[in-house]
Structure 1
Amino acid sequence: MNKLFFRLLVMLMSLSLIGIILVQVYWFNTSFRNNDEQFKFHVKQVLGNVAQKLEQHELYSFYNKINKKIDSAGVVPKEEDLMEFYYVQKNPKTNQTIVYSNNVKSKQYNISLPSFDKKFDSNKFKSFSSSRLTEVYNNNSIDNSAVNQSLVPDVKSVKVGSLGILDKFIFEISNKDILSAMPLEDRVSNDELDKLIRKELEEYGVKTKFEFGILSNGIVTKIKSDNFVYDKAITYSIPVFTDNEGNEKYKLYVSFPHKKKFLLSQLVSITILSIIFTLIIIIAYTSALNQLIRQRQISEIKNDFINNMTHEFKTPIATINLALDAIRNPKIIEDKDKVFKYLEMIRDENKRMHAQVENVLRISKLEKKELNIIKESSDIEEVINDAIEHVNLILEDREGSISTHFGAIRKIVLLNDVHFTNVIVNILENAIKYTPDIPKIEIYTENIKDMVLIKIKDNGVGMSKVAQKRIFEKFYREHTGDIHNVKGHGLGLAYVKRIVDDHNGQIYVESEKGKGSTFIIKLPLIN
């Protein structure tokens, strides 16, 4: 049930983390698309303003030319009536009569143009104005036929105004017709168009590099920026300089080479924050998951350690109790040989338990940096031989053998004899314990650069890849369930690793299941 809950918890946490990342990706894509749409909207508005201002500029220039010509000529315009509106309304109740008239007049300017003297006598310019007269007659008995008589109105209102809309209409049509016959280069310059586009883009907050070009019926004209290249993905267009019939001969194209970079720059700050927070969540999740897995492994190791420790202490404790009971027996206590035999058993079992406790204490002191290790220059091969002496009795009991192949020429290292002897003894004892058949151990030494290499090879059961990675962890033993055919608590190799590390050395294992193991130790030589 615990395993199922753990897997379910890991799965839910993983799905949540994946969901957060997918939401972040979706948000980024959506924001990027929204920015793209907003960019497109602003650019369309800019292009519309540019096209409108180009036409307005041309129209105002045309107005100015004509007005300057009229002002410089100084002629009195000739007035003509173009249209007259006349209306009379009488109120029978109040006897009030309203007379309204509206005259549309044109002013004609005959201006001589020297360049056209041979063909035309003058150029004709006309402007239009209206004169509106409203007269009110109170309590006078007049009829429609008497309106033209010399009567004085009670109320009189005169309004005179220019009909600029007619002027504008005529000038705009004329201007477009005239300009459509002119070359494009005479109507607008590259600098003028660049300044106009730049100003409009800045007003809309589009501050990125742009290129422009005007195409005539799909062909690029001389009005273009130096690096203009049409690219559908980054180019926007609008018709310019349309004629009176609405024909679109010219089109203005504006492209943005760094469009994507500009859009991303608007998201960069919030995106960086999002990435940082996502990474924090991933790191926290990974750390939490690692801790959960680690705690499960520690729990399994702890249970295995307790089972093994209980089993190993149970036997010597039982042996000691039996020996004590035997000694208390009146028949045995009189037999000195048997008493000494049982006392020897008690002493051996006590030493065995004491050795295990010492291993635990050694590891604890190493972790707390409290174990004082004094190093002296020593011959590594002598240390190995001492270690072999320590395990000879155990080896003889198993009818095993150790063969040495000392090939190292330089073999003086700085080490602590006692602790390093224990290192070799621990490895040799493991080699004997984990060999179900007759143990055959080989020890090699050799020099590699400024190091001495020690190889201890056995013909034991070997170990899995997983065990090789974790064999030097405290309390770790390859899981064997409730089988206790091999004694130990996973402390020996943890002690070995810490001692080798303290000597600035390295230790690792090469092994294959069923084919034995080789422990390799590297130690720095004394120069």
Structure 2
Amino acid sequence: MKKRSLWIITALMTLALLGVFVMQVYYIRESYKLNSRLFEENVNQALNAVVNKIQKKNVVTSINRKDDEARRLREEDLKSKTDTIVAFKVRFKDSESQRKYRQQQQMLDYILFQDSSVKATFLSPFMITEEEYRIYSNPNSSANNKLGLDIEDIKDVNGNLISRRVRPRFLHLKTNLQQGKLPDTIRYIAFSPQNWLPHVVSFPSKDPDMMAKFKVEDAKASKKYQMELDRLYADTANLFSNNSFNLVQDVAKELDNKNVPLEDRIPSKKILDTLLRRELLSKNIKLAYNYWLTPAKDKNRIIYQNVSHAINEPLPKNTFEHVVFSNDVVINDPGMLYVSFPNVSSLIFSNMFATLASSVALLLVLIFIFTYTILAIIRQKKLSEMKTDFINNMTHEFKTPVATIMIASEALKDPEVVEDKTRISRLANIIYDENVRLGNHIERVLSVARLEKKEIKLEYAPVNVNDLITAVVDSMGLQLQKRNAQVTLNLNSADDLVMGDELHLSNVIYNLIDNANKYSLNEPKITISTRSTIKNLYIQVADEGIGMTKDQTKRIFDQFYRVHTGNLHDVKGFGLGLNYVQDILMQMGGSIKVQSEKDKGTTFEVIIPFKHSN
């Protein structure tokens, strides 16, 4: 892929990512506005419900107060009316008793008057009972039952009758004139003053005219009593019939009274706080809030508050206000209720958690995909470039021995060369060496491929590392001599026996020494050291060559990667050596580290554990 195409793809993906980001920001912003408006609507609905309940409580309080007052007045009036009725009945009873007593006195006066008349008209009158009268007037009664009279005459010396005393015999005379114990007719036995003969004299115990008069008086008094009693009962009944109407009128007058102080219309602070909390919770608003209540015309005079609010201080942010008595027309001051929420944003963001989380997650996924894609493209581009370099290097490495073999083969066709056995032998050796060289190149590429596919099976055996290093250095003697390389061996490890594959371990050491030899501008100076600890064996291969940057040291173990050598044109290779070294050491349970400084040299440190087995 061309660099221009990569930049175009990167620009388009960046533009698309920015577009998605802008859309997400716009969506979150609109969602925040929507949640803010929803919060404001919920708060306003809660405040509206609070002031409605305050108004209702004001009406209920007024009704209850007036009802209590009316009940007290009604009870007082009822008690007064009852007392009046009771007093009236008592007065009537007293009046009736006096009237009856007066009537009895008049009846008694009548009887006494009649008694006086009888006594004045007749001689020695005495009362008899009805039973005595029946006996006396019955002609068939026996002599024993006859009324007997003892007559005692009083005469003078000449025998003239002066007086006569008559007493009844055998019977008890009734002479009591008390009212209630008299018969309908009062009867006397009296003697005529002319002939002194006994006569029965009688008169009614009750005067008909007087009784008729008494009956009229009683009827008038009873009617007057009943009329007055009905009037008193009617007044008492009016207390109940007019009470409801009067109560409504009184409450309406009180509510219409604009001079009633606002404090008297508002419930207590505890009730106000309870109403606010309950209505806000009903709207799922659990935020802390501050509130204060003021007159509408004097907002600096605070009636109730749950937080200190300075006079003339501007309203805090996210403060809602509502008229308390908005439905009253004639009220002097309707009052203002203020509610402030210091942490509105926290509630809104908590309600938007799902939206924010999904948006952020989507953006992170897109950024990850974008970054991963760009890095993958760059990595593939670098890998493609390295593979191209690898193919070029491999072609060059293969081309040289092939060309040499071809030249040697053509020389063998020359008749003069055929006759010269020395030249034939030298050309045969050249062909053999180049074939071996070509085979080594092929084997190296195949080994890396098999190692990458995990097809190489290491054969573990005890290996003396110090001896192995010495053998590898000896085998590389000719190519080291070509560059006059100075190799210093500091094989100080007393314990150098490890479990490993001798062939691949020798290839590891060979690659490290070969790199130190190739990447030196002047005569190479290579130092190989060994040391050991309880657990590991350490092999260091240091040179004073061209060195590497930090960025290069991070990539030298990648396949096909080769360090740029500048003006050094004799460095050959496929970029597979260090990758092979790392993979072999990892399979053996070891590792490799590198320290390098540009133009000062590089040090590789191989770490091999002592107790490793397959």
Distance 1:46 1:487, change over 3 A: same
The offset of 1:261, in angstroms, is 2.7
Whole-angstrom CA distance in 2 between matches of 1:61 and 1:168:
10
SS at match of 1:470: coil
The answer for unaligned runs of 5 or more in structure 1 is 77-108, 111-123, 129-161
AA partner of residue 394 (structure 2)? M
Residue 253 of structure 2 is matched in structure 1 by 170
Note the 1:277-288 alignment, pairs <5 A.
277-288=362-373
Q: Are 2:42 and 1:42 aligned?
A: yes
Mapped partners of 2:341, 2:263: distance in 1:
32
Letter paired with 2:522:
D
Deviation at 1:222, TM superposition (A): 6.4
Cα separation, partners in 2 of 1:223 and 1:9, compared to 1, 3 Å: closer
Aligned to 1:270: 355
Q: Structure 1 residues 468, 255: closer, same or farther in 2, change over 3 A?
A: same
Q: Who is 1:200 aligned against?
A: 279
* Aligned length, in residue pairs: 439
Distance in 1, Cα, partners of 2:304 & 2:372: 64
Measured against aligned partners, the alpha-carbon deviations of 1:469-512 in whole angstroms (never above 9, x if no partner) come to 21111121134699853221112111111111112222132223
Which of residues 377, 385, 395 in structure 2 aligns to 1:310?
395
**In structure 1, what is the equivalent of residue 377 of structure 2?**
292
Q: 2:292 aligns with which of 186, 190, 214?
A: 214
Does residue 486 of structure 1 match 2:566?
Answer: no
Q: 2:259 touches 2:332 (CA, 8 Å); kept in 1?
A: no
Q: Which amino acid aligns with 2:579?
A: A
Tell me which residue corresponds to 2:212. none
Equivalent residue letter for 2:374: L
1:447-467 Cα distance to aligned partner (Å, 9 max, x none): 456333221111222233332
Report if aligned partners of 1:213, 1:220 keep a CA contact under 8 Å in 2: no
CA shift, 1:62, in A, is 0.9
In structure 2, C-alpha distance between the alignment counterparts of 1:208 and 1:181, rounded to whole Å: 28
Which residue in the other structure is 1:328 paired with?
413
Give the partner amino acid of 2:576.
L
The alpha-carbon deviation at position 303 of structure 1 amounts to: 1.5
1:188 corresponds to 2:268: yes
Change (3 A) 1:416 1:219: farther
Shift of the alpha carbon at 1:432? 1.4
Letter in 2 for 1:296: K
Higher strand proportion, which one? 1
Maintained 8 Å contact 1:410/1:525:
no
Output the CA distance in 1 between the equivalents of 2:459 and 2:342: 71
1:319 corresponds to which letter in structure 2?
Answer: T
Task: Identify the residue that residue 81 of structure 1 maps to in structure 2.
Answer: none
| Contact 1:359–1:495 (Cα < 8 Å) also in 2 | no
Q: Is the contact made by 1:212 and 1:252 (CA closer than 8 Å) also made in structure 2? A: no
- Tell which deviates more after alignment, 347-356 or 192-201: 192-201
Contact 1:509 1:519 in 2 (8 A): yes
Structure 2 vs 1, CA of residues 389 and 194 (structure 1 numbering), >3 Å: closer, same or farther?
same
Paired residue type of 2:480? L
Offset of residue 402 of structure 1: 0.7
CA–CA distance in structure 2, aligned partners of residues 326 and 472 of structure 1? 43
Structure 1 contact 459–515 (Cα < 8 Å) conserved: yes
Contact 2:531–2:537 (CA<8 Å) still a contact in 1?
Answer: yes
- Determine the structure 2 residue equivalent to 1:143: none
| Alpha-carbon distance change, 263 to 181 in structure 1, aligned in 2, over 3 angstroms | closer
Do the aligned residues in 2 keep the contact of 1:472 with 1:494 (CA within 8 Å)?
yes
Aligned positions of 1:395-406 closer than 5 A: 395-406=480-491
> What pairs up with 1:479-518 in 2 under 5 angstroms?
479=564, 485-518=570-603
Q: Distance in 2 between matches of 1:169 and 1:69?
A: 15
| Alpha-carbon distance in 2 for matches of 1:495, 1:126 | 107
Q: How far has the Cα of 1:5 moved from its partner?
A: 2.3
Maintained 8 Å contact 1:209/1:258: yes
Contact 1:304 1:481 in 2 (8 A): no
Give the direction of change, closer, same or farther, for the CA distance of 1:422–1:181 in structure 2 (3 Å limit): closer
SS of residue paired to 1:370: coil
State the SS of the aligned residue for 2:554.
helix
- Structure 2, unaligned runs of 5 or more: 79-234, 237-241, 309-313
Is the 1:431–1:441 Cα contact (8 Å) retained in structure 2? yes
Asked if 2 retains the 8 angstrom alpha-carbon contact of 1:459 and 1:516, the reply is yes
Deviation at 1:251, TM superposition (A): 4.6
Aligned equivalent of 1:342: 427
Amino acid at match of 1:207: I
For residues 75-474 of structure 1, the aligned pairs below 5 Å read 170-174=253-257, 177-180=259-262, 182=264, 187-190=267-270, 192-203=271-282, 205-215=283-293, 218=300, 224=306, 232-240=316-324, 246-247=332-333, 251-256=336-341, 258-447=343-532, 450-474=535-559
Q: Which amino acid aligns with 2:316?
A: K
Which protein has the bigger helix share?
2
What is the match of residue 132 of structure 1? none
- The answer to whether the 8 Å contact 2:469/2:509 transfers is yes
Which is further off, 515-524 or 288-297? Answer: 515-524
- Greater RCO structure (CA 8 Å; 6+ sep): 2
Distance (Å, rounded) in 2 between the aligned partners of 1:429 and 1:480: 15
- Distance in 1 between the 2:566 and 2:392 partners? 9
CA distance in 1, matches of 2:27, 2:538: 58
Report the alpha carbon displacement of residue 297 of structure 1 after superposing the two structures with TM: 0.3
In structure 1, what is the Cα distance between the partners aligned to 2:593 and 2:573?
20
SS at match of 2:488: strand
- In angstroms, what is the RMSD of aligned CA positions? 3.5
Distance (whole Å) between structure 1 residues aligned to residue 291 and residue 355 of structure 2: 35
> Would the alpha carbon gap of residues 126 and 365 (structure 1) be closer, same or farther in structure 2, given more than 3 Å must change?
closer
Separation in 2, partners of 1:246, 1:446: 101
Does the C-alpha gap of structure 1 residues 298 and 223 become closer, same or farther in structure 2, counting only changes over 3 Å?
Answer: closer
Name the SS of the counterpart of 2:604 in structure 1. Answer: strand
Output the TM-score relative to the length of structure 2: 0.64
SS for the counterpart of 2:572 is: coil
| Structure 1 residue aligned with 2:63 | 63
Q: Is the 8 A contact 1:445 1:454 kept in 2?
A: yes
- How far is 1:240 from its partner? 4.0
Displacement of 1:10: 0.9
Tell me which amino acid in the other structure corresponds to 2:581.
V
- How far is the alpha carbon of 1:292 from its aligned partner? 0.6
8 Å Cα contact 1:308/1:484 also seen in 2: no
Measure how far apart 1:314 and its partner are: 1.3
Structure 1 residues 205-231: Cα deviation after superposition (integer angstroms, max 9, x where no partner) = 3331344543555576666499xxx99
**Contact 1:210–1:254 under 8 Å retained in 2:** no
The structure-2 alpha-carbon separation of the partners of 1:291 and 1:449, relative to structure 1 and needing over 3 Å to count, comes to: same
Q: Is the 8 A contact 2:497 2:610 kept in 1?
A: yes
Q: Is the partner of 2:378 in helix, strand or coil?
A: helix
1:127 shift after superposition: 5.8
Write the letter of the residue equivalent to 1:197: L
Please name the residue that 1:523 is paired with.
608
Report the TM-score when normalising by structure 1.
0.74
Partners of 2:263 and 2:303 within 8 A in 1: no
Cα 1:29–1:404, aligned 2, differ >3 Å: closer, same or farther?
same
Look up the SS of the partner of 2:256 in the other structure. helix
1:390 Cα deviation after fit: 1.8
Paired residue secondary structure (1:490): coil
**1:313 CA displacement:** 1.4
